[in-house]
A and B are shown apart, each in its own frame.
Chain A
C-alpha cells in the first residue's frame, strides 16, 4: 500500500476521470452507475487508511508539477500528511455509504446517471481540496465543491424551490469565497508563494495587522462554506436536495471544509489573537442560536440542518480556543453520526412519504433498523457516553471553557438544547402513535446497510480520539473528569426534559407554540435572517441594478451606439451627394484632387517647417 501513499494523486484524479464514463455507463446500464461512483471513495479510503496506519514514517508524501511559469512560478501539487489522510478516510467512508444508500433511495429517478456522475465529481473535488499542497489548489477544489453543491442541491431542477435553493447556496458561499480570494491575494503579496510550506515558514515575517487581515478573510470564506453566522442562510434551504446528498455534502464533508481550511492554515491563525477571538465568538454564537432554531422545526431535515450549523459552530469555537486537533476530532465523529442521522431521516422519508414530523410517529415498529441506528446517532449527537459524540464534544467544551468561560457557557447551553431537540425529533418520529396515512416500511439492504455501518462508527469512533490526535501530530489530551460529568448531566437533563414534555407528542408542540407564540415563530423563521438578507442586500442591489440599467445602459450606452450608427448614416447620406451622375462634375473633382495633392506634395517641407515652428511656439 505504500505505492498508493506515494502516488496518492491517483486517489484525487480517479473520481474526476470517472465522471463522464459514469454518466455514460449509467445511461446504458443502471447498475453500472453506482458501481463506478463507488470506485473513487474506495480508492480514497484505501489511501487514507494506509496513510493513517503507516505510522507516518518520514515526511508526508507529495508531488507537484509546474502549472503557470512566470515571475512567480505557480505549481499544482498534492500532499498526503496526517490531516489529509484523516479527511481522505472520512470523505471516502461517507461517500461510499452515500453511494450505497442512494441505490435504494434514488431508485426510479430519471436522473439516475447524472446523480452518480455528480457524486463522483464531488468526491474528486473534495479530495482535491484536502490534498492540495498550496492554498491556490485548495481554492480550486473549494470552488469545485461549491459547484457540485449547486448542481446537487438543484438536482430536481424542475422544482422551482430547489432551483432557488441551489442559487441561494451558491450566492451566499460566493460571498465567502470573495473573502477567501482576497485573503489568498494578500497572502501571495506578503509571502510570494501559495505553497503551504513556504507560507508557514514566512508567517513570522508578516506584520501582525496583515496576518490578522489574512486570517479574518480566510475565516470569511470558511464561514460561508461552513454556514456560520451570518452566512448560514443557505444551509436550511439546501435541504431541497436529495437526502443522501444532504448527508454527504451538507453534514459530513463539504461544510466541514471551512473547519479543515482553518486547521490547514493553522500557523496563520495561531499568529493572530484577534482572528482567533473572532472565530471563537462567531462559532459560539452560531452554535447557540442555531440550536435554538432547531428546537422548533417541523421538518425533520430542517432539524438536522440547523443541528449541523450548530455543531459546526462547536468546531469553530474549538478552533478559536486554539484546539484545532480537537476540532478535527469532533469533525470526524460528527461526520459519522450526522451522516447517520441524515441517512436515517432519508430512510424515514422514503418509508413514510413525508418530511413533516407531525405526520409521523411510532415508526420504530415499522422501521426497526432505522430506529435503532437513529437512536445511536441521536445519542452521539446529544453527547451520551460512551457514544462517539460524548468524547469529542467533551473535549470541545473543555477547550473552549478554558479559553473563554462565556463561550463555554454558551456552548453548554447549546448542548442542552441539542439534547432537547434531538430527543424531541426522535420522540415525534419514532415513538407514540402513527399519525400519518401511509404505509411506512423499512427500505432495502442498500439503505439499511450503510445505516448499520455508520451506527458502528457512531458508537466506536469516540475511542479513537488519541489516535486521531497522533495522526494529526497534535498533543493528545485525556478527558477532564469535571467536564465529562457536567456534559453528561447536561445531556441527560436535556433528554429527560424533552421526553417528558413531549410525552403527548404533537399536542405538546402546539401547546408550547401557543404559549410562547412570538418566540416560537421567530425561532422557526431563523430569527428573520433571510428577511434581513432580502431587505438589506438583495432589494437594494436589484433596484440599484435596475436603475443602472434604465438610466445608464439604456440612455447612455445604447444611445451612444445608436447615435454613432445614425452619425455614420448621415455621413453616408452627405457623401452620396457627391455621386450626382454628372460626368463633368467628376472630372472637376479629379482635377481639383490632382491640384491639391500636388500642392501638398510640393509644399511638404514647408508644411513640416511650419508645424515645427508652431510646436516650438506652443512649447510641446
Chain B
C-alpha cells in the first residue's frame, strides 16, 4: 500500500463518506440528518470522479443531491406541519441489528477480497459519446425500462400523495 497522492485523496473522500453515512443513521434531528445526507452524497460524487466515472458523478449530483435530497426536504417540511414541534428522530440501537450489519460486512468483504488495490483506469465507456452508444445500443432495453419505471413512479406519486385532501 503506497501512501501517495491518489491514495490519500481516496482515503480522505472515503473517510468523509463513512462519517457522514454514520451521521445519517445516527443523528437525532431531521434537518441535521438531511444535511449529513447531502454531504455524504457529495463525497460519493467525489469518489466517482476519482474512479474516472465523471458523467456518473455529474448525474449523481444533479439527480441525487439536486432532486432526491430537495424532495426529501420538501417532504420533511410537509410532514413537520402535521407533526407537533421539531421532529426528534430516534433510533433503536440494538446489538442484533449491529451484528447483522457487521456480519454482512464481513461476508461481503470476504467475497470481494480478490480485488486489487491499484487503480487501473476509468471504467470502460466513460466518455459521453460512448455512453450514448451504449445506452441507445446494447443497453437500449434497460434504458427504455428505466423510462417506464420513471413514468410509473410519477403516476404512483401523484396517486398516493395527491389523493384526498382534507
**List of B residues within 8 angstroms of A599 by Cβ:** 103, 107
B101, B106, B107 — most chain A CB neighbours (10 Å): B107
Is B162 located at the chain interface by the 8 A CB criterion?
no
Q: How far is the CA of A599 from the CA of B111 in the complex (A)?
A: 11
**List of A residues within 8 angstroms of B97 by Cβ:** 584, 588
A591, A595, A598, A599 — most chain B CB neighbours (10 Å): A595
Q: In the bound complex, do residue A591 and residue B107 qualify as a contact, i.e. CB atoms below 8 Å apart? A: no
Pick the contact of B104: A584, A595, A602 (CB < 8 A): A595
**List of B residues within 8 angstroms of A592 by Cβ:** 96, 99-100, 103
Total count of chain B residues near the partner, CB < 8 A = 10
8 inter-chain pairs at a CB distance below 8 angstroms, sorted by A residue, are: A584-B97, A588-B100, A591-B103, A592-B99, A595-B100, A595-B104, A598-B107, A599-B103
Is B110 located at the chain interface by the 8 A CB criterion?
yes
Q: How far is the CA of A591 from the CA of B106 in the complex (A)?
A: 13
Footprint of B on A, CB under 8 Å?
584, 588, 591-592, 594-596, 598-599, 602
Q: How far is the CB of B158 from chain A (nearest CB, A)?
A: 25
For B110, the closest partner residue in chain A by CB is A602
**List of A residues within 8 angstroms of B110 by Cβ:** 602
**List of A residues within 8 angstroms of B106 by Cβ:** 595
Q: How far is the CA of A591 from the CA of B101 in the complex (A)?
A: 8
**List of A residues within 8 angstroms of B96 by Cβ:** 588, 592
**List of B residues within 8 angstroms of A588 by Cβ:** 96-97, 100
**List of A residues within 8 angstroms of B103 by Cβ:** 591-592, 595-596, 599
Q: How far is the CA of A591 from the CA of B107 in the complex (A)?
A: 11
B85-102, CB < 8 A from A: 96-97, 99-101
For B97, the closest partner residue in chain A by CB is A588
Q: How far is the CB of B108 from chain A (nearest CB, A)?
A: 9
**List of A residues within 8 angstroms of B107 by Cβ:** 594-595, 598-599
Q: How far is the CA of A584 from the CA of B25 in the complex (A)?
A: 14
Q: How far is the CA of A591 from the CA of B94 in the complex (A)?
A: 14
For B111, the closest partner residue in chain A by CB is A598
A584, A596, A598, A599 — most chain B CB neighbours (10 Å): A598
**When A and B form their complex, which 6 residue pairs have the shortest distance between CB atoms, in order from nearest?**
A595-B103, A591-B100, A598-B107, A592-B100, A588-B97, A588-B100
| Number of cross-chain contacts by CB at 8 Å | 24
For B108, the closest partner residue in chain A by CB is A598
**List of B residues within 8 angstroms of A591 by Cβ:** 100-101, 103-104
Q: How far is the CA of A194 from the CA of B104 in the complex (A)?
A: 75
For A602, the closest partner residue in chain B by CB is B110
**List of B residues within 8 angstroms of A595 by Cβ:** 100, 103-104, 106-107
Q: How far is the CB of A577 from chain B (nearest CB, A)?
A: 15
B101, B103, B106, B110 — most chain A CB neighbours (10 Å): B103
For B105, the closest partner residue in chain A by CB is A595
**List of B residues within 8 angstroms of A598 by Cβ:** 107
Q: How far is the CB of A92 from chain B (nearest CB, A)?
A: 91
B100, B101, B104 — most chain A CB neighbours (10 Å): B100
Q: How far is the CB of B98 from chain A (nearest CB, A)?
A: 10
B79-137, CB < 8 A from A: 96-97, 99-101, 103-104, 106-107, 110
Q: How far is the CA of A584 from the CA of B103 in the complex (A)?
A: 17
For A595, the closest partner residue in chain B by CB is B103
Q: How far is the CA of A596 from the CA of B106 in the complex (A)?
A: 11
Q: How far is the CA of A592 from the CA of B100 in the complex (A)?
A: 5
Q: How far is the CA of A594 from the CA of B100 in the complex (A)?
A: 9
Q: How far is the CA of A318 from the CA of B58 in the complex (A)?
A: 121
**List of B residues within 8 angstroms of A584 by Cβ:** 97
Q: How far is the CA of A596 from the CA of B103 in the complex (A)?
A: 8
A591, A594, A596, A599 — most chain B CB neighbours (10 Å): A591
Q: How far is the CB of A597 from chain B (nearest CB, A)?
A: 10
Q: How far is the CB of B64 from chain A (nearest CB, A)?
A: 23
Q: How far is the CA of A141 from the CA of B83 in the complex (A)?
A: 94
Q: How far is the CA of A187 from the CA of B101 in the complex (A)?
A: 77
Q: How far is the CA of A591 from the CA of B99 in the complex (A)?
A: 10
Q: How far is the CA of A184 from the CA of B104 in the complex (A)?
A: 73
Q: How far is the CA of A584 from the CA of B101 in the complex (A)?
A: 13
Q: How far is the CB of A604 from chain B (nearest CB, A)?
A: 14
Q: How far is the CB of A584 from chain B (nearest CB, A)?
A: 8
Q: How far is the CA of A588 from the CA of B96 in the complex (A)?
A: 8
Q: How far is the CA of A588 from the CA of B110 in the complex (A)?
A: 21
Q: How far is the CA of A217 from the CA of B9 in the complex (A)?
A: 103
Q: How far is the CA of A592 from the CA of B96 in the complex (A)?
A: 9
Q: How far is the CA of A132 from the CA of B18 in the complex (A)?
A: 97
Q: How far is the CA of A30 from the CA of B99 in the complex (A)?
A: 91
Q: How far is the CA of A304 from the CA of B151 in the complex (A)?
A: 106
Q: How far is the CA of A207 from the CA of B104 in the complex (A)?
A: 80
* 19 further A-B pairs in the complex, CB-CB below 8 A; given A591-B100, A591-B103, A592-B103: A584-B97, A588-B96, A588-B97, A591-B101, A591-B104, A592-B96, A592-B99, A592-B100, A594-B104, A594-B107, A595-B100, A595-B103, A595-B104, A595-B106, A596-B103, A598-B107, A599-B103, A599-B107, A602-B110
For A596, the closest partner residue in chain B by CB is B103
Q: How far is the CA of A599 from the CA of B101 in the complex (A)?
A: 14
Q: How far is the CB of A609 from chain B (nearest CB, A)?
A: 19
**List of A residues within 8 angstroms of B101 by Cβ:** 591
Q: How far is the CA of A588 from the CA of B98 in the complex (A)?
A: 9
For A592, the closest partner residue in chain B by CB is B100
